[in-house]
Amino acid sequence: MSREARQAKAAAAWNLTNEIVVVGAGDPIGIPGGHDQCFPYKPHHEYRWLTDCKREGGIVAYDPKSGWVHFEPPVTEMELVWGPSPAPIGRSIEEFGPWLAARSGRPLAALGSYVNAEADAALSKTLSRILSHVRRPKDATEIALMQRAAVATKAGYEAIRRAIRPGVTERDLQVEFEYAIQKAGADGPGYGTIVGAGPDSAVFHLTPGDRALQEGDYLLVDAGAAVDSYVVDVTRTFGCGELSAEKLLLHAAVVESELAGVALCTLGREWHDVHHACAVVMAEALVKLGVVTCSAAETAESGLSSLFFPHGVGHTVGLGVRDAMAQPPGIERDRMVAGVRVRIDMPLELGYAVTVEPGTYFIPALLTDTARREKWGSMVNWDKAESWLGAGGVRVEDSVVVTEGEPLNLTSAISYDP
Ligand SMILES: [Mn+2]
């Protein structure tokens, strides 16, 4: 979709008569004490989506009486001498002040990274939420970028599979992944690569370290490539050498749960139903393994499943690893499902890109917690659960687009085998 089409779509959804909207790209953030070094710059997603521009310091503004106007900083001599910056396409940023001053007294919404003490905070929040809803369905251009990210991500996972052996470290495998995706066309990782060996497979936001894989370990990799800031979010869990029969059973159940969840990503489906369905399938494995003593349905209904599956089943993805997450206008909810508050709670619509990422983990901080042990009492075989401490956990994740028919699983070509 062209930037003009996107701007028209946002304006139609806002349906304003007199309000002014200013959307800022944001500025580079200097590294404290880093002299001339900045953190890698990414424009605010609202600005990026509306303009398809990546230049720092830009502003795109909307007046319902006169339409959209785009301001960007002119190229400085510093940039000309020291290094390239995208050529500005808008009017000079110096014209923004007079443009805004000519509209003083009218309600002002500040979106993106734009800050203005005069802005109406409630209006800004409302319009941002509407824009999030407008941005949520991915257009063909966006899906094509995610498909390129998926191709690169597949190469990364294949590199990891080839490198798995006892003694290899998490960090070694992270490097293999990130090298392979860039060779295969990615700009780089779309988010912090997670590679967790053995017990680390149950640490959600792990920084890969020097832990070495051992025979029989799970290896959890949550990593995805970015192409032009569009990201797929993928997780696979591997085995190092032979996994035990019980570990294989759990792995197969998580794959089954995940594929069941992907199949449910259809028009109108409530996201909570996807979470619940995934929780039930994984609870069936916990029953088979003798970890829980009640039925799978009861495990999910009671919320006991959250002891082993404590996160939401997924989130929207696309322009970044979390994209357009705000609740749709008019849907005010704060509900729990299967013992957790999931990150999104809405019906799926055409073009939504979501991750489906069920997992079952044996997390020491949860399983040894006195309050939880009292709460779940005889519904858990605690000795059996404790026998899994140190094994870590299993998660499987794909990035999926909702279509008129079958869900489009962007990342299903990446093998699910342990
Ligand atoms: Mn994810």
| pLDDT, tens only, 150-184 | 999 999 999 999 999 999 999 999 999 999 999 99
Assigned CATH for 3-135: 3.40.350.10
Residue with tokens 């970044």: 320
Are the CB atoms for 391 and 362 separated by under 8 Å?
yes
pTM of the model: 0.95
- CA–centroid distance, 151 to ligand 1, in Å, is 18
Distance 352 CA to ligand 1 centre (A): 15
Same fold yes or no, 3-135 and 140-409 = no
H or E stretch at 22: strand 20-24
- Please tell me the distance between residue 92's alpha carbon and the centre of ligand 1 in angstroms: 39
Q: Rounded distance, CA 253 to CA 286, Å?
A: 9
pLDDT band at residue 55 using 50, 70 and 90 as cut-offs: confident
Question: Checking phi first, is residue 187 left (phi over 0); if not, alpha (psi -120 to 50) or beta?
Answer: alpha
Structure confidence at residue 410 as a pLDDT band (50, 70, 90): very high
**d(CA 322, ligand 1 centre) in Å:** 8
Q: Which residues surround ligand 1, an ion (CB under 5 A)?
A: 233, 355
- Please give the full DSSP string across 35-69, using - where no structure is assigned: TT-BPPP---HHHHHHH----TT-EEEEETTTEEE
Rounded to the nearest whole angstrom, what is the distance from the C-alpha of residue 344 to the centroid of ligand 1?
12
C-alpha 351 to ligand 1 mean position (Å):
18
Distance 87 CA to ligand 1 centre (A): 34
Tell me how far the alpha carbon of residue 136 lies from the centroid of ligand 1, in angstroms: 16
- Give 311 Cα–ligand 1 centroid separation in angstroms: 10
Ligand 1 centroid, distance to 76 Cα (angstroms): 39
Please give the pLDDT value at position 86.
79
Q: Please give the distance, rounded to the nearest whole angstrom, from the Cα atom of residue 323 to the centre of ligand 1.
A: 11
316 CA from centroid of ligand 1 (Å): 9
Average pLDDT over residues 146-152: 98
| Cα 19 to ligand 1 centre (Å) | 36
Mean pLDDT over the full length of the chain: 96
Amino acid at 265: C
Q: What is the pLDDT of residues 328-372, one digit of tens each?
A: 999 988 899 999 998 889 999 999 999 999 999 999 999 999 999
If you measure from the C-alpha of residue 175 to the centroid of ligand 1, how many angstroms do you get, rounded to a whole number? 20
d(C-alpha 261, C-alpha 317), whole Å = 16
Lookup: tokens for 376: 């779940």
Distance 197 CA to ligand 1 centre (A): 18
Q: Name the residue ranges covered by the structural domains of the chain.
A: 3-135, 140-409
Quote the DSSP letter at residue 212. Answer: B
Per the CATH hierarchy, to which homologous superfamily does domain 140-409 belong? Creatinase/methionine aminopeptidase superfamily (3.90.230.10)
DSSP state of 147: H
